[in-house]
Amino acid sequence: MPPSRLRRAALPLTAAALLVPLATACSGGANDTTSASDGGQRLRVAMAFPPAQAMSPYGDDAVNLSRLAVIEGLTSLGRDGAAKPALAASWKRESPKAWTFTLRKASFQDGTKVDPAAVVRSLNAAQKASPKPRVLSDTGITATAQGAGTVRITTTAADPLLPQRLANPSLTILSAAAYQGGKVNPAGHATGPFTLAAVKGAVSATLERNDHYWGGKAKAPGADVTFVADGTARANALRTGAVDVAEYVPISQASLLGDRLVHEFPSARTNGLSLNTEHGVFADPAMRAAAREAIDSEALVKAVYEGRADRAQGLLGPGVPWAAAARKAPADRAGAAGKAQVAKTKQIVLATYTNRPELPEVATVVQQQLQKRGFTVKQVVRDYAQLEADALAGKYDAFIQARNTLLDTADPVSYLASDFTCDGSFNISQLCDKRVDTDVDKAAALAGNDARHRAAMTAEADILGTDALVPLLHERFVQGYDDSRVHGVALDPMERTLITADTRVG
């Protein structure tokens, strides 16, 4: 799955399928919502993205495990993106490349203790994993035990973001029993308030409460999870009461569900039009400027998102709360080519993917806006997995994607580096601009949040000045649950939490 948290969708399930008891996946069915031990009501959850790597923590399945409160790392993230204690009670930076983390008293779900040896094993295994977790793509880490409750972590280069980096779900801490036969199995070997008790392929999973959780017992005795790729099916299941929580309700279904079931909030996701700066029509800055001038963000918000999105403000939207105050105007933009000049260009290929239901419709509106400016546009719309390699290779003139700008480290600098620098691993626009690289390198070297934020917005202004990416809009997340009976669901712009120890029915 790319940084936008997309993956090959499972075959759509109907709402009726959600009503079938999951007897083969767990001890009780989806309608068996009580716990024999305390009479508490189990949660029934519809997740959008099925497991793609057998719940490996090194891929995007780790995000699902994090959203289901199964796994934890040394740190967690606050609403502002700052690191907070989790399995590490505190930490100290010894030098630009070395940090010391003091562990709290905690146990794994299998009863063994969280100790320095377990932390060292988990972090060094992540560093050696193939493919390596994306959060480690721009640095390396080495962990060593330092006494009974302390771990020392060194990085290959100075990394002021290490505490935030360690909150990434792919750097979860697991017990020794998780590492068997060359594979990593988090089921029963993590530390979160819920234990992954069973998984039935891409269909369902069962969670049970971890009664020994260091943060206090969860308020629900467990959860029955169904993976439902089809957004309409998730919405219908919520409407009919087949599930208590449905994540990522499609915009087209939100108004049908009504305010009681729909909870909308700003996200860190920006939908953008990446323009190929290296080959084709958009290698000409004047053509990129013409494409930028053709885009009407407000029309996209109204026509496609029914007002449930925010007009484009830059690379970082309202889900990054500090961005607006620190924003700088783009400078040195090229003058836009005229309509007659644009009309003389070759046909451009505009690509997007089906995995997010709104994007094909966005592509159609963008196509119309570009054609109005004089461009001749051909659409290519497929499953993301069929497009990614060609997009990264620069085989499309334009590419529409929904990008979570805070996914890996909760800091936009890593997003700016991967998407817009010469050596960026996710540089769909093929941008290579010395000034942008210098901006990003400067931001990456700064330790203080305020200084990093200011430097990041300088980089944003210079990136926007190249027109390598034209921001289209900023998505809002829509999570579904009945707020009169379901409580404690996390509305997280960074997409890492959904079910928590506080989530309960009644």
**94 DSSP assignment:** E
Length of the chain: 506
How crowded is residue 258: how many other Cβ atoms within 10 Å of its Cβ? 9
Q: What b/e readout covers 101-114, taking b as 16+ CB neighbours within 10 angstroms?
A: bbbeebebbeeeeb
Mind listing the pLDDT tens digit for each residue in 202-246?
A: 999 999 999 999 999 999 999 999 999 888 999 999 999 999 999
Inform me whether the pLDDT recorded for 285 exceeds 90: yes
In the chain, % helix, strand, coil (3-state, to 5) comes to 30, 25, 50
> Which helix (H) or strand (E) covers residue 474, if one does?
strand 469-481
Q: Kindly give the residue spans of alpha helices, DSSP state H, lying in 70-149.
A: 116-128
How is the chain split into domains, by residue range? Answer: 15-70+192-253+482-505, 75-172, 267-476
The whole-angstrom separation of Cα 179 and Cα 123 is 12
| Torsion angle, alpha carbons of 111, 112, 115, 116, to 10 | -130
| 203: Cα separation from own chain's centroid | 21
Whole-number percent of the chain with pLDDT over 70: 92
Q: Tokens at residue 148, please?
A: 């009974």
CA Rg, the chain, in Å?
A: 23
Predicted TM-score of the model (pTM)? 0.80
Q: Tell me which fold the domain 75-172 belongs to.
A: Dipeptide-binding Protein; domain 1 (3.90.76)
User: Would you place residue 38 in the very low, low, confident or very high pLDDT band (cuts 50, 70, 90)?
Assistant: low
Query: In the CATH scheme, what is the homologous superfamily, with its name and number, of domain 267-476?
Result: Dipeptide-binding Protein; Domain 3 (3.10.105.10)
Q: pLDDT (tens digit, 9 = 90+) per residue, 478-496?
A: 999 999 999 999 999 888 9
Q: Are 25 and 200 in contact (CB under 8 A)?
A: yes
CA distances to 55, 270, 282, 430 from 393, in Å: 29, 22, 15, 8
| Other C-beta atoms lying within 10 Å of the C-beta of residue 218 | 28
Tell which CATH classification among 3.30.70.60, 3.30.930.10, 3.40.190.10, 3.40.50.300 matches the domain 15-70+192-253+482-505: 3.40.190.10
Give 414's pLDDT tier (boundaries 50, 70, 90). confident
CA torsion through residues 41, 46, 49, 53, sign: positive
For residues 45-57, give the mean pLDDT.
90
